[in-house]
Amino acid sequence: MSPVAPIEELTTEEKLKKFEDFGKVSKEDDGKIIKDENEEVIQVKYSTYQKLIEYAGGNKFLVFLNIALLITKVGETYLTWFIG
């Protein structure tokens, strides 16, 4: 039997044994990726933000979106003052 055997080649007992042993290192660490998930430190680099802005359409689109939002808010404020 090859290590990457199709499911059809395994017997029911072999399937159950593989399912029981899959991914388990010990009972206390079962289901955890690292020992203490609360101590994980995540740092996002500036280049990641640059890539996200590039994927969203670049700096021109971001500036256009901010100007459009500013115009909308000024218009809403003016209408509220004018009506109110």
User: For residue range 61-76, what is the model confidence (pLDDT) as tens digits?
Assistant: 989 999 999 999 999 9
CA dihedral (25, 30, 36, 40) positive or negative: positive
- Report the predicted TM-score, pTM, of the whole model to 2 decimal places: 0.42
Is residue 62 helix, strand or coil?
helix
Would you say residue 2 has pLDDT above 70?
no
Other CB atoms within a 10 A radius of the CB of residue 53 amount to 13
